[in-house]
Structure 1
Amino acid sequence: MIALTLAQLADAVSGELRLGRDDTPDTIVSGAVDTDSRLIGPGDIFVAKPGEVTDGHLFVAGAAAAGAAVALVQHPVEAAVSQIVVVDVVTALADLAREVVSRARAAGDLQVVGITGSNGKTTTKNLLARILELEGETVAPRASFNNEVGAPLTMLRVTPNTRYLVSEFGASGPGEIARLAGLVEPDIAIVLMVGMAHAGGFGGIEATFEAKSELVRVSRRGGLAVLNADDPRVAAMAPIAAERGQSIRWFGRGAGADVRADDVEVTASGTSSSITADGRTLTLRLRVLGAHHVMNALAAIAAATALGVPLATCIERLETVELAERWRMQPLGSDRVRIINDAYNASPDSMAAALRTLAEITGEGERTVAVLGAMSELGEYAGEEHDRVGLLAVRLGIQRIVVVGTDARRMYLEAVSQGSWDSEAIFFPTADEAYTYLLGELRDGDRVLVKSSNSAGLRFLGDRLGESFS
C-alpha cells in the first residue's frame, strides 16, 4: 500500500483513531492490508471483519503480536495496537481503497482496467496480467478476489510505482459492480459476456445485463470500453459507452471485430487460432484448453494493445501461460487417463463450453466421461438449466455421464430421458461414491471432465482423480 499516516488513514475511513504502543497521529503505515490475521506481518493493517462463522475482532490481539501497525475495528479491542474504530469495516475497506488508488493516480501514471462478465473474468484477468507485468508494475487479484472484500484488498496493493491495476468485478446482485468499480473509475472497461450465471440473484437475463453494464456506466469518461462483438447483450452496451464519451474496441470472431480470431482449433494440448489486430495477423498457440478461452485471450489482447503493447508481444507472453487458474480447465492425470478439473465455477454457458471442449479433444478410440455437479445461484431457472446440460451432454455424444449431488439430479434424469441408458448415465448422491465408481470404471484412453460450481465441491473430486491416475 502507499504510505499514509495513522491520521490520514482515520480520515480516509471516517474513523476514530485510538493510539496504541508509542504511535502518534503522524506514524506512517505502508504495509499490506488483509482480513486474515494469519497473513499479517510487521507494519501491516488488519481489518477485523465480522463473519458468518467467526469474528475478526477475536484475532486483533494475534495480529498485534504478529506486528500489525493498526487494526480497523467496529469496536475497540483489548490489544497492544493502534485501532481505527469505524461503523462498518467493509465500508471502511472500500473507502480506504478509493483513497489509496486516488493517491496512486496522482503520484504516477496508473492505468486501471476493470473486467466483468458472467464467465471468464478470472482467466481474462490472468491473461492480461501476464501481458502487462513485463511492461511495468502490475497489480491483479489473487484467485477470484472480485467481491466487496476481495476487490478493495486488491486495490490496496497499489504503490506509487504501480503502472497497471487490473480489477475483476463479480456481483451477486444489482448495484454491486457499480459500487466496486466506482471506487476506481477504470480507464478501460472489459465486458466479456452476459449469461445466466447468478441469474437467480439478479432476477433474470435482462437484469444481469443491467448489472454487467454498470462497469461501463461508472468507468472513466473519455476512456475505453472493450466489448464482445459476438454477444448481442454486450454489444448493446455501446450506447452507454458513447454517452460517457468512451471509445469502443470490439473483440470477437466476426469480421467486424477490431481484435478477431479465425481458424480456431482445439486439441488435448491447447487451442490455436489466427489473431488479427491493428492490421496484423499472427498465430496464437494457447496452452489453455477450450475454444471459449480464445475469447478471453482476445479481450486481454484488445486491452493490452490499446495500452500500447504490440500484438506480437501479447501473443508471445500469452503462449507462456500454462494454466488459466487452478480448477479451471486444469489438466491432471496422465496421457493414459486425462482428467480436466474445471469445478471452481459453473454456469449454463461455461458448462456448455466445457462439454464441447471435452468432445473436441477426445480422439478416435478414446472415451468421453463427464462428471457433473450442480450449478449454483440460478434461482427459479435452476431446473430448466440443469435439464439443458443433461440434454447437451447426450447430444454431444458424451459416453459416460456421471452426475453427483442431489441438486444436480435433473441432469441425470434428462440424460436418461434423452436415451442415455445402460449405465451411460449414472447418479451418485456424494462425491465419495462417485470416486469409488470412477476408480473402477475409468480406463486407458478416457478423457474426463469434472465440472460444477464451487459449492458442489467437485474440484476436490477432480484433484483425487488426478492424483489416482497420474
Structure 2
Amino acid sequence: MSGSARPTDVVAGPVVVDSRGAGPGSLFVALRGERVDGHDFAAAAVEAGAAAVLGSRPVDAPALLVDGGDDEVVAALGRLAREVAERISAAGADIVGITGSSGKTTTKDLLAQVLDRLGPTVAPAGSFNNEIGHPLTVLRADERTRFVVLEVAARGIGHIAHLCRIAPPRIGVVLNVGSAHMGEFGGKEAIAQAKGELVEALPDAERGGVAVLNADDPAVAAMAGRTRARVVTFGTGPGADVRAAGVRLDAAGRAEFTLAVGGETASVRLAVVGEHQVHNALAVAAVAAEFGMGARDIAAALAEAGPVSRWRMEVTELADGTTVVNDAYNANPESMAAALRTLGSIAEGRRAFAVLGHMAELGERSREEHERIGRLAAEAGVDGLIVVGEEAAPIAEGAAGVEGRRGETIAVPDAAAAVAALTERLRPKDVVLVKGSRVAGLEQVAEGLSAAGPLAEQGEAQ
C-alpha cells in the first residue's frame, strides 16, 4: 500500500463508500463500481472533511493507494476492519455473527435492540452483510463499543469463512438452512456447508466460543459436530436449551409464547409480525442469556424490540382500515410459506389478498417451488391471488391445480398493474400481503396502495 497520506492525517470519523456520507475525519473508500468511479468524487469527500481516501488510482487528495483495482481496495478495507476487530475484542467487546437462509436481518435487528440495554451496540443497517458492508460495520466500532452484531451472508462456499476472518466472532448463531440461493449453491447440502463455516470459525469452549443452533432444523442441529465451541440450542421441542411453548398469534399476527431459558420462564409478546419470528426471538434470547440477562428481562426487551429494516413484514393500516403487509425485501420458499400463514392469521374474519412475485436463484427447482407456493396460497383460501411478472407465472399455475379453491387468480405484468388490480377489488378492512424477491420490486405495490389513499369507495362500488 502506498500513497500521499501524511502521519498527521488522522482518521477519526466514519469510513464511507459514498462521498455524500463523508464528514470531518472520515476515510472515503473509492471504488470504481459498474456505474460511477468513486475516485472522481475524492475531492468532494475531502472538501466535506474526509481525512484521506483509500483507492486504487491517484487522486488529488491525501490517499492510501493499492494496486489491483476494486478487489484490492476491498481487501484493504477488510484488513483495516480486522485491526479494529482485534483492538475492540482485546478491550472487552464481543462480536456476534448471525447467519441462515432467512431471518438474518430481523434477528440482527432484534438482538441489537436487546443488547443495547446492556451496553453500546454496533449493528449494520439493513442487509449490510457482504465483503463491503461487513467491514464498514466493524469500522463503526470504537473503544466504547460493548457488542458488535453482524449479519453474515454467503453466495458460495468460503464466503462466510472469509467474513469471519475479518471480524472473528465469539458467538455464532445459525437460524436455518433453506432454499435461498439454491441455484447458486446447487443444493441444500452445499448451503449447509457454507452456513456451518460460521460455527467452524468460533473459538473453542475454553476460550468462550458459543454456537447457538436451531434444534428444530436438522441441518443446523448437525452443525454441533463441526465446532469446538460450546453448543446452545433453541427451538420449540423439549430438548432445546432455550424454548418456546404455547405459541399463538394474536389478531395482529404477533406471536405470544412462554419463554424458558436458564431455568426460568417468562411470558413473551413480540412486537414483530409472523409466527416465524418465534425462532428469531429464541435465537436472540439464547445470546442475551449468554450475557447474563434473565428470562423476564429478555421478555421485556423483546416486547419492545420492533422492526427496524424496511420491507420485512412491515404492517401499514390505511385510512379505510385496509391492512398492507409489505414483506417485499426478499423471498424464498420457506419465507413465502411463513408469510402466507401470517396472512391467514391477520385476516381471520376478513378478506385476504396475496400479491406474489417470483423467488430468485432457485435453479432447476424454480418451477416446482413456484407451483408449490401457488398451491399453498390456494389452500390457504386467499380471496385474491395476484401473480406479478412472467417469472412468477408458475405460482398461478400451481393455484389453478387446487380443486375447489375459492377466490380468483390474476396474472399481471408489473407492480403498477398489480396496484390497479387491487384498487378495483379491495374493500375496507381487507388484508393484503406483498411478497417477492428483491429484484421483483414489489415494495412499489405497497407504496402504491398507500399513495392511492382510502380505497373504501372503490371497494363498495364492486
TM-score category of the 2 structures, normalised to the smaller one: over 0.9
Post-superposition CA distance 1:299-326 (Å, at most 9, x none): 0010111111222111111111232532
Using the TM superposition, give the Cα deviation of residue 179 of structure 1 relative to its aligned residue in structure 2, in angstroms. Answer: 0.3
Cα deviation for residue 260 of structure 1 reads 0.5
Contact 1:333/1:465 (8 A) holds in 2: no
DSSP-derived class of the 1:319 partner: helix
Whether the 8 Å contact between 1:394 and 1:420 is mirrored in structure 2 is: no
Aligned AA for 1:431?
Answer: A
Mapped pair 1:190 → 2:176: no
Question: 2:460 aligns to what?
Answer: none
1:454 to 435, 438, 445: 438
Q: Using the alignment, how far apart are the partners of 1:158 and 1:56 within structure 2?
A: 24
- In the superposition, relative to structure 1, how do residues 82 and 51 fare at CA in structure 2: closer, same or farther (>3 Å)? closer
TM-score by length of 1: 0.92
Q: What is aligned with 2:128? A: 145
The Cα of 1:445 is off from its aligned counterpart by: 2.8
Q: Identify the residue that residue 181 of structure 1 maps to in structure 2.
A: 164
After TM superposition, give the deviation of residue 333 of structure 1 in Å. Answer: 2.8
**What's the offset of the Cα at 1:423?**
6.3
- Write the mapping of 1:288-327 to structure 2, written as runs, cut at 5 A: 288-327=272-311
Q: Describe the shift of the 1:318–1:423 C-alpha distance in structure 2 as closer, same or farther (beyond 3 A).
A: closer
* Alpha-carbon separation, structure 2, partners of 1:82 and 1:54: 19
The corresponding residue for 1:8 is none
2:225 partner amino acid: P
User: Which runs of 5 or more residues in structure 2 are unaligned?
Assistant: 455-462
Contact 2:52/2:61, CA 8 A, preserved across alignment: no
CA displacement, residues 348-379 of structure 1 (integer Å, 9 cap, x when unaligned): 10000000111122222x11110000111212
Q: Which stretches in structure 1 are left out of the alignment for 5+ residues? A: 1-14
The corresponding residue for 1:28 is 10
> How far apart are the structure 2 equivalents of 1:413 and 1:18?
62
Once the two structures are overlaid, the 10-residue window that deviates more, 89-98 or 321-330, is: 321-330
Q: Which residue of 2 aligns with 1:95?
A: 79
Letter in 2 for 1:342: D
Matched, 1:434 2:418: yes
Report if the CA contact (8 A) 1:76-1:85 is conserved.
no
Shift of 1:421: 7.3
Q: Give the C-alpha shift of residue 81 in structure 1.
A: 3.0
CA contact (8 A) 1:343 1:451 kept: yes
**Residues in 2 aligned to 1:435 and 1:53: alpha-carbon distance in whole angstroms:** 31
CA contact (8 A) 1:72 1:86 kept: no
1:402–1:420 CA distance, 2 compared to 1 (3 A): farther
Match of 2:457 in 1: none
1:249 touches 1:258 (CA, 8 Å); kept in 2? yes
Deviation at 1:384, TM superposition (A): 1.1
Match status 1:255 vs 2:238 = yes
Matched, 1:82 2:63: yes
Whether the aligned pair in 2 keeps the contact of 1:175 and 1:214 (CA below 8 Å) is yes
Deviation at 1:26, TM superposition (A): 4.6
CA contact (8 A) 1:227 1:249 kept: yes
Q: Which residue of 1 aligns with 2:321?
A: 336
Q: CA deviation at 1:84?
A: 3.2
In the alignment, which of 214, 224, 232 is matched to residue 238 of structure 1? Answer: 224
Q: TM (normalized to structure 2)?
A: 0.93
Of all paired residues, the percent bearing the same amino acid is 46
The one-letter code sitting in structure 2 at the alignment partner of 1:82 is A
Residue of 48, 65, 68 corresponding to 1:66: 48
Q: Secondary structure at the match of 1:297?
A: helix
CA–CA distance in 1 between the matches of 2:353 and 2:423? 13
1:452–1:240 distance in 2 versus 1, CA, 3 Å: same
Match of 1:228 in 2: 214
Whether the 8 Å contact between 1:182 and 1:219 is mirrored in structure 2 is: no
Match in the other structure for 1:119: 102
Structure 1 residues 183-222: Cα deviation after superposition (integer angstroms, max 9, x where no partner): 2221100000000011111111110000000101112222
Higher mean C-alpha deviation, range 62-71 or range 262-271: 262-271
Alpha-carbon RMSD across the aligned residues, in angstroms, is 1.5
2:398 aligns with 414
